[in-house]
Each structure stands twice: as C-alpha cells, then as structure tokens.
C-alpha cells in the first residue's frame, strides 16, 4: 500500500477516534443523571396512574359544576337574604366533608356556612386579593393549600358570582381538606386498593396532598427538606417541572429518616388555574418496626423537660439547641424524643429526626384530624403541661401509636418538650368517630340557624331528643365558661365550669373555648375512674356559634390503666 495512502487512512481513523471520544465526553457531561430519565414501569402502575387521572378529573369537574350551579342561583340575591344562607346550607349538604362554604360579595359582605369558622380563613391575604380579574383566564380557581386553624391546610374551590345584569358580585368558595379532593380512603396512604402511595403537587412546586400531612403546603423549591442533597432526588424535581413521566428518586418513606428509592409515575391535570401533578409512588417498605420505649417513665420525662426548660431560661436558645443536639449531652434518653418548636410550629430541634429542623409542622395531624403541634402550642399558651396524641402508623391501616408529650414554654417565641408512646402496642382507630362528632355539632348548628339559640339550648337539654339520646355527649358553653346547656349534667347549667380539669390538671374547658375562638377543631382529653384506676381518652369537637358561645360534642375512645412503679399504661 502506498505509504501516503496508509498515512492518510491512519490520519482519518485518528480524526474519527478523536471526534468519537470528544462526542462521548460531551455526551457524558451533558447527559442528566440516570434518575432524570423515564424508567420502565409495570403495566399495572401505568393503568393505575390513568385511573387516578380520570378519577380526580371526574371528581373535580363534578365539584366545580355543583359550585358553579350554586353561584348562578345567587345571582338575584344579596348576602343578607335568608335564601342566600339557605342556598349555602344546601351546598354544604352536597359536600358533607367540606370544611365550609362562603359567599363574599363585591362589597366584601360575607355570608358563610358554618357561620363562624369561615370568616377567619377568608381574612387571609390570599382571599383579599380575589377580584373579577382573577377569573379572566379560569372560570374556576383552585386556591391553596391555605392554613385554617380548624382544619389545617385546606384547598378552596372558588367561582365568580354574577348579578342578573352580568356585573361581578364577588365569589363563592367551598373549602375542602386535601384528602377529600382526591377521594383518598381515610386512614390509608395508598390509592384505592393498591400499594401505590399517592401524593399531589403542582407546577409551582407546592405539595397539595400527601399522606404525611406535614408535607402539605411545603414547596419543593424553597423547603429545606427537599433541598438537602438535592442530587439524590433529582427525579422528584422532574415531577414538579415536567407534565408527565416516570422516575426513580431517593426520598424518605413515611415516618422514616433513611431515604429509599422511590419509583414514581405522574400525569398532569390542569384544573382551576393549577397544573396538578397526580403522582403514584412505589417503593419497597420494611415491615413496620415501631420502637416502643423499653422503660417508659412519664415522671422522668417530665423532670427532664423541666431541666431542659431551666437550662433554656438560663443559657438561651442557641446553647440549648446545641445541648439538645449533643448525643452525649444532658438531655439524651432512649425512651423519649426531645424537641423544640417555635410558637408557630417550626422545628428548632429534634435530634432523632434532624431532617425536620427548619420545617413548619403546624399541619402535622394525628388520627381523627388532631393537630398535635397546634395542641402543644395551645398547652404552652397556658403555661405548658401534658398533651396526649395518636400518631398514625405508616403503612398499617387504621393503626396508631398512642403517646404523651410534655411541653413547657420558654418565652412567647419557643418551647421545649419530649414525647413517647405510653402503650406497648398500637391501637386501632375508627375514623367514623370523628365524622359522628362533626355531624352532631353540625346538626345543632342547623337547629340554631333555624330555630335560634334558646330553642337549641332547650333541645340540648331534652333527654328524649334524638340528638342528645345518642352515645355522644353534647353541651354548650359560653366564652366566659358558663355552661349553657348539658342534659347529662343539668345541675351544672348556669355555672362557671372553667374550674374543670382532666386528671393531669389540664384546663379542659378553657382549652375547648380557646380552640372555639380559633375557629373550632378537635381536642383530646381524658377522664379517670377513681374505682378502677382506668383512664379513658375523650375526643372532643367544638365549633363556635358566634363570638360569645360554642357547641361541643365528645365521645370516649380507648381506656387503659397505669401500672404503678413502671409508669406506663396498658
């Protein structure tokens, strides 16, 4: 072969090699991490994703249709008309799990149902900014999540109301808790009968629904929980950034502190001005391993929290948080979890779950909708004390860990505390207990709206009435602690009952009134049987009627006894 030809061939091959290497280097540097690519998933996973999309689409469309129809019926009315109130009541009945309905007319006049928990929500800045222009691109708005004292994070479906002459006359709003929005089965994190975990975000990075309620309202782009080691869950970022796909990313399982690989599939449903990311997640889960304290001792926990509080008052917040984080420090005990919160629910310290530091957990809910952190803050506002709680067990349907926390305020800005399970097994809970309480209080509210306060109080005092003859206890109390009606305790009616406490000295009635003034909600308290020594937990639901009094319903939950010397309950 000609030498020059051979040289030319070698040169060409060399050039090709150089180009190939260059291309491959460029490709390696520009290719996204493996998690940024779609992954192959099972047909069943794809089918359930489609099913989720259609299910939520049908649900939201029907929801929107009903609210729009109601808005049309308001066209010839004013908020002062009784028929407007009746229409809102009828709309509320269509959505019995709704947290409330409201019409705010163009002048800002408001009519709501129930009467006194919606105005607090409507006073938030998100609602103040709604005008006719807000509906320029969408005739239905999905707003939220926004925080309601009564229900935690809620989503609001908002439609404009027009007068008969076509002029804008405000908006009609129905609020729902996020789980209702997507037909989630209460008590389980899974979609329908699958083992696929379900959550919903939007294109702005907001989490609208998650089985762990403390995620709801967080934002992917700014929340420290997502931004730590972001490369490990790059695929999670794709969920918020891309309309549909599949991915694998690393993130925490429910209640866990070690990341696992999660395979997800998502689709986008555009509704109410939001691009909703409907996500199903599949990942291996270890068998539920709940650590019960080997030697639970409530008295020691309280003593240690008091020492923590004394240390905090002497040495300030920075030194205290540092001491709490020290695994060999003053406040370490394997039996309980210590924590510090700001008074708005942000975690300042939680050594056993460091990844939560900086998180706002005000929306963290136990079972029955109990807002545990809010309950702790309410207790701190009274100087501190016990807070019992039921925390749902991840991946075990209708199972909860029953525990007790002890909290003490350091000043008006933050508090310290500790918590631990006090039963050595999980308890089964029935979500229907909660619904029954709500319906009972709602029935009394309906009676008040129809017949007035005095007739309603008489009804509560009537032992033959269907409502009062049930298992649940109903009573009415004013904001100065005067018992207005209670068929079970007629001898106390007309008296100040603010002196009543639970066996641990907690001011039950004062706290119920406090929650009523915040817009209503759930309270967990207890009674003690002096003969058997048994304690019974009581779930309480309260709704304000107006700014002077409230209606309360309660039902007993679990009973247990304290084993002397061991300090724990069974």
Where on the chain is the footprint of other proteins (CB under 8 A)? 303, 306-307, 309-310, 313-314, 378, 381-385, 408-412, 479-481, 496, 498-501, 505-507, 510, 513-514, 517
C-alpha–C-alpha distance, residues 494 and 363, integer Å: 36
C-alpha–C-alpha distance, residues 425 and 433, integer Å: 21
Nearer to other proteins, 35 or 297 (CB): 297
Min. distance of Cβ 33 from other proteins in angstroms?
46
Cα–Cα–Cα angle for 97, 101, 102, rounded to 5 degrees: 170
Min. distance of Cβ 299 from other proteins in angstroms?
9
Nearer to other proteins, 178 or 384 (CB): 384
Residue 564, classified by CB atoms within 10 Å of its CB into exposed (0-12), middle (13-18) or buried (19+), is exposed
Count CB atoms within 10 A of the CB of residue 63.
22
Query: CA end-to-end span of the chain, whole Å?
Result: 94
276: which strand partners? 202, 269
Nearer to other proteins, 81 or 548 (CB): 548
Min. distance of Cβ 306 from other proteins in angstroms?
4
- Cβ pair 268, 243 in contact under 8 A: yes
Residue 159, classified by CB atoms within 10 Å of its CB into exposed (0-12), middle (13-18) or buried (19+), is buried
- Tokens representing 282? 């599949």
Residues 6+ apart with CB under 8 A from 133: none
Min. distance of Cβ 509 from other proteins in angstroms?
8
Residue 361, classified by CB atoms within 10 Å of its CB into exposed (0-12), middle (13-18) or buried (19+), is buried
- Tokens representing 280? 């199903």
Count CB atoms within 10 A of the CB of residue 66.
16
Alpha carbon distances (Å) from 194 to 183, 189, 280: 14, 10, 10
Nearer to other proteins, 111 or 373 (CB): 373
Min. distance of Cβ 404 from other proteins in angstroms?
16
- Cβ pair 365, 179 in contact under 8 A: no
Min. distance of Cβ 499 from other proteins in angstroms?
4
Mapping DSSP to helix (H, G, I), strand (E, B) and coil, where does residue 124 land? coil
Min. distance of Cβ 498 from other proteins in angstroms?
6
Min. distance of Cβ 342 from other proteins in angstroms?
15
Min. distance of Cβ 179 from other proteins in angstroms?
30
Nearer to other proteins, 102 or 309 (CB): 309
Q: Which residue has the tokens 């409201």?
A: 102
Nearer to other proteins, 22 or 310 (CB): 310
Count CB atoms within 10 A of the CB of residue 128.
11
Nearer to other proteins, 385 or 521 (CB): 385
Min. distance of Cβ 408 from other proteins in angstroms?
6
Min. distance of Cβ 522 from other proteins in angstroms?
18
Nearer to other proteins, 406 or 522 (CB): 406
- Tokens representing 185? 């089965």
Cα–Cα–Cα angle for 198, 203, 209, rounded to 5 degrees: 30
Q: Whose CA is closest to 366, among 429, 314, 410, 315? A: 429
Nearer to other proteins, 285 or 504 (CB): 504
Min. distance of Cβ 567 from other proteins in angstroms?
15
Maximum CA extent, the chain: 120
Nearer to other proteins, 207 or 484 (CB): 484
**DSSP H or E segment with residue 440:** helix 432-451
Radius of gyration of the chain (CA): 28
Nearer to other proteins, 384 or 519 (CB): 384
Nearer to other proteins, 260 or 321 (CB): 321
C-alpha–C-alpha distance, residues 474 and 486, integer Å: 7
- Tokens representing 133? 């222009």
Min. distance of Cβ 371 from other proteins in angstroms?
17
C-alpha–C-alpha distance, residues 111 and 119, integer Å: 9
Nearer to other proteins, 180 or 512 (CB): 512
CA atoms within 13 A on the CB side of 492: 16
Nearer to other proteins, 53 or 498 (CB): 498
Min. distance of Cβ 389 from other proteins in angstroms?
19
Q: What beta strand segments (E) does 224-309 contain?
A: 245-251, 260-271, 274-282
């Amino acid at each position: 072969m000609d030498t020059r030809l051979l040289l030319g061939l070698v040169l060409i091959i060399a050039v090709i090699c150089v180009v190939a290497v260059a291309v491959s280097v460029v490709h390696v540097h520009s290719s996204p991490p493996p998690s940024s690519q779609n992954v192959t998933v099972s047909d069943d996973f794809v089918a359930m994703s489609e099913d989720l999309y259609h299910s939520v689409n049908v649900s939201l469309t029907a929801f929107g249709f009903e609210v729009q129809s109601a808005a049309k019926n308001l066209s010839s009315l004013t908020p002062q008309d009784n028929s407007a109130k009746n229409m809102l009541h009828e709309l509320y009945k269509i959505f019995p799990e709704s947290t409330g309905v409201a019409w705010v007319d163009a002048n800002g006049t408001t009519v709501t149902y129930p009467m006194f928990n919606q105005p607090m929500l409507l006073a938030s800045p998100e609602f103040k900014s709604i005008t006719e222009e807000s509906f320029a691109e969408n005739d239905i708005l999905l707003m939220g999540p926004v925080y309601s004292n009564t229900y935690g994070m809620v989503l609001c479906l908002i439609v404009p109301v027009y007068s008969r002459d076509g002029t804008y006359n405000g908006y009609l709003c129905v609020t729902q808790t996020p789980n209702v929005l997507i037909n989630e089965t209460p008590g389980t994190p899974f979609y329908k009968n699958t083992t696929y975990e379900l959550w919903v975000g939007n294109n702005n990075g907001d989490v609208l629904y998650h089985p762990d309620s403390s995620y709801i309202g967080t934002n992917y782009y700014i929340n420290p929980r997502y931004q730590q080691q972001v490369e490990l869950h790059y695929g999670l970022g794709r969920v918020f950034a891309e309309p549909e796909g599949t991915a694998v990313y690393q993130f925490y399982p429910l209640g866990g502190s070690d990341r696992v690989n999660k395979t997800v599939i998502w689709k986008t449903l555009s509704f109410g001005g939001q691009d909703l990311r409907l996500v199903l997640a599949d990942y291996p889960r270890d068998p539920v391993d709940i650590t019960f304290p080997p030697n639970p001792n409530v008295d020691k926990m309280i003593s240690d929290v008091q020492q923590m509080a004394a240390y905090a008052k002497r040495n300030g917040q920075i030194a205290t948080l540092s001491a709490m984080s020290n695994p060999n420090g003053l406040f370490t005990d394997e039996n309980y979890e210590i924590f510090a919160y700001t008074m708005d629910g942000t975690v300042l310290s939680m050594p056993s779950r460091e990844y939560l530091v900086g998180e706002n957990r005000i929306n963290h809910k136990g079972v029955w909708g109990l807002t545990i952190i809010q309950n702790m803050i309410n207790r701190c506002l009274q100087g501190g004390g016990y807070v019992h709680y039921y925390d749902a067990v991840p991946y075990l349907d209708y199972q909860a860990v029953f525990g007790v926390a002890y909290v003490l305020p350091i000043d008006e800005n933050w508090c310290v505390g500790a918590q631990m399970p006090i039963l050595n097994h999980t308890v089964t809970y029935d979500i229907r207990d909660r619904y029954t309480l709500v319906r009972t209080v709602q029935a009394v509210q309906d009676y008040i709206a129809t017949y007035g306060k005095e007739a309603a109080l008489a009804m509560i005092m009537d032992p033959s009435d269907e409502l009062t003859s049930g298992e649940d206890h109903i009573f009415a109390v004013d904001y100065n602690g005067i018992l207005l009606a209670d068929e079970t305790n007629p001898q106390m009616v007309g008296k100040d009952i603010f002196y009543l406490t639970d066996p641990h000295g907690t001011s039950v009635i004062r706290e119920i009134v406090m929650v009523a003034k915040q817009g209503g909600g759930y309270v967990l308290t207890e009674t003690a049987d002096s003969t058997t020594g048994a304690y019974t937990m009581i779930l309480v639901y309260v709704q304000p009627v107006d700014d002077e009094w409230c209606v309360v319903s309660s039902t007993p939950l679990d009973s247990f006894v304290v084993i002397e010397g061991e300090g724990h309950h069974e």
